[in-house]
Amino acid sequence: MVGNPNVGKSAIFHALTGIYVEVSNYPGTTVDIASGRMGDLGVYDTPGVYGISAFNEEERVARDMILEADIVVNVVDAAHLDRDLFLTLQLIDMGFPVVVALNLMDEARANGLSIDVERLSAELGVEVIPTVAVKGEGVAELKEAIRRARRGKPTPEVVSRLPADLPPAEGVLWLEDDPETCKRLGRPGPGLREEVYRARRRRADEIAERVVAETAAGASWPARLGRWMLHPVGGLFFLAAFLLAMYQVLGVW
């Protein structure tokens, strides 16, 4: 299981594995790793990371665990899809069979966001399951989807640069100048990390723009108020009202 920090990954993990969970340090580190079982499958919860090119201990542990995985469950925050899709695309670029758990759907709805799940799945080329893990919503569907996990659609600008003599996962890490990968291969990275990141970031933003829509339906009052304050006309109204109130309070009017 892989995801950014604070996306509800632990809740998904416990929903999949139940109460029988082991926690231990990853060998040679102080990073805690939880492990459990979902039927005949072993499930491992990696540290929360924004990417898996190893530039800190958490990323290093996540990278090493992912490289040993048969299937990757990527947990994303539905309310911050544009941010989380960067990691999703990195996993897909690396050629892993991926299932996306689109978690915290209740918070997305409260923020007035509607997500076209079918289109998101088509854009990524993998199954996307909407979930609210703390309430158990979508967990049964996620369990079924895990056994159907498939490889997705990689970023064209990335896959076109992969060296032919390396597996996709190792090739992506080399493209991103992952220090330990370059050392193990005995060849320096190509210096394309920023270019790869920009291409992936651009694709993530484009996908999010196509599948996420703002809607008043289900939005909380704070979300609706915030949207009005950012509106060109509504914002001017709130600014005028605020200035009038300040003048009244200060006795300047």
pLDDT at site 201: 98
This prediction has a pTM of: 0.84
Q: Which residue has the tokens 């979508």?
A: 138
Q: pLDDT (tens digit, 9 = 90+) per residue, 15-35?
A: 999 876 676 767 666 577 889
CA 117/CA 161 separation, integer angstroms: 30
Amino acid sitting at position 151? R
Q: What is the mean pLDDT of residues 130-155?
A: 97
Tens digit of each residue's pLDDT (9 = 90 or more) over 49-58: 999 887 788 8
Dihedral of the alpha carbons of 201, 206, 210, 213, in degrees to the nearest 10: 60
- Residue keyed to tokens 């854009």: 123
Domain 2-218: give its CATH superfamily.
Answer: P-loop containing nucleotide triphosphate hydrolases (3.40.50.300)
What pLDDT, on a 0 to 100 scale, did the predictor assign at position 235? Answer: 58
Residue 142: left if φ>0, alpha if ψ -120 to 50, beta else—which one? alpha
Q: Is the pLDDT of residue 89 over 80?
A: yes
What is the reported pLDDT for 170?
Answer: 96
* CA distance linking residue 253 with residue 244, whole number of Å: 8
Q: What are the domain boundaries of the chain?
A: 2-218, 220-253
**Cα 199 to Cα 65: distance, rounded to the nearest angstrom:** 25
Of 152, 105, 151, 141, the C-alpha closest to 16 is 141
The answer to whether residue 75 scores a pLDDT higher than 80 is yes
